Amino acid sequence: MMGLSLWWLVACPRRGLEPLEVPEEQGTEVVELVEQQAAFRVVNGPWTDRETGLSIDVLEGWSGQPGSVDSELRIRLEHASSGASVEIRALEPDGLTPRERTGCTWEFSDEGGYSSLRVTEPVRVSSCVPVDPGAPRVFATMTEHGAWDWHFELLVPQGYLAASRASADSLLATVRFGN
């Protein structure tokens, strides 16, 4: 049997890979990568928005994708175990009015001490009930700071309310405003 294996190795040499022909593309341009397209993930550690001065500690279990430089969305953070996400937006001042969201209706809104944000400015909380019962419910925490209305919107998947709220409260407690 060993002789057959040895014969197989000697008699059937391995062929090398044949080179692939890659056709030349005509009109190929070098496109510069715009800063806002050079996206990166934020994982475990502090993150600061250089445009607005907002800082947040991205806690264990969370990861984030910063928004583009000229976008109102500053960062979107996602929680791995609950599937919840937090969208942080800097909007033009509008009296802490919840922003329009497609597919849900803002049904509750109140100003008070409901938030884990550590700010001295007034805080308004609102909840948005989705039209589709399977869609995530949205809980917004809004405050004014500097030249912006800050909207912290927690999107909670069905069945993960307690875990999402507890994790998001810990995350929002780390928010700091630098400007």
User: Tell me, what's the pLDDT at 100?
Assistant: 92
Task: Give me the CATH topology for the region 35-177.
Answer: Jelly Rolls (2.60.120)
**With contact defined as beta carbons under 8 Å apart, do 74 and 36 qualify?**
no
Q: Hey, where are the domains in the chain?
A: 35-177
Give the 3-state secondary structure of 77-100. Answer: EEECCCCCEEEEEEECCCCCCCCC
Over range 108-133, report the average pLDDT: 88
pTM for this prediction: 0.76
The string of pLDDT tens digits covering residues 53-89 is 999 999 999 999 999 888 999 999 999 999 999 999 9
Least confident piece of the model among 14-23, 39-48, 52-61: 14-23
pLDDT grade, residue 37 (50/70/90)? Answer: very low
